Amino acid sequence: MFSDLRRTMTYLRSIFRPKRQPMKYKTSTKDLLVQEREAWDQLPTKLRRRAVRHLQNQISDEDKSFLLEFMKRNGNDWPFSDTTPPEQKAKIKEEYDMYIPDIFHMSGGMHTRNLLREVIADKELPGIGGEEGNWDDFYSVALELAVGYVPNE
């Protein structure tokens, strides 16, 4: 019975799961950021200014300070660094017996991308590596500029 179910589920996944193209991105975080910075430079100046200005207007000064320190502390790995303070992690572990990873890309990064979509739709962005354009490929540079972070190259 379970083998039939397993076969059926495998078949359904093969039908509904889109065929993934091989990733054409570089693999290290630093290389990804370099690639994003290169892509950012290809955006029209008007779109870049609009994106940065919108983030500057939407993010509080307190959050800008936090983000700037977070970026400085984590260097090129900041988009994939854990944002949960150690004492909060310990409390969650103690109360719920679980650990919740909170990398910036999946929390603050999602919020940043949604803010940017308020002023520039994904379809207005060029694609990278054969993919359609989306803010995943550009938001980190926009946020760095909005908070005044100058990355170490």
Nearest to 102, CA basis, from 90, 124, 89, 84: 84
pLDDT average, residue stretch 97-126: 80
Tens of pLDDT, residue by residue over 33-78, are: 778 888 888 889 999 999 999 999 999 999 898 889 888 888 877 7
Q: How confident is the model at residue 97 (pLDDT cuts 50, 70, 90)?
A: low
Q: What does pTM read for this prediction? A: 0.68
Beta-carbon count within 10 A of 132 CB: 11
Report the C-alpha gap between 121 and 22 in whole angstroms: 25
Q: Reduced to 3 states, what is the DSSP secondary structure of residue 35? A: helix
Q: What is the DSSP letter of 133?
A: P
State whether residue 132 is helix, strand or coil.
coil
Q: Where are the domains of the chain?
A: 44-153
pLDDT tens readout for residues 2-39: 445 555 555 445 544 444 343 344 445 667 777 888 88
The yes-or-no verdict on residue 86 having pLDDT over 80 is no
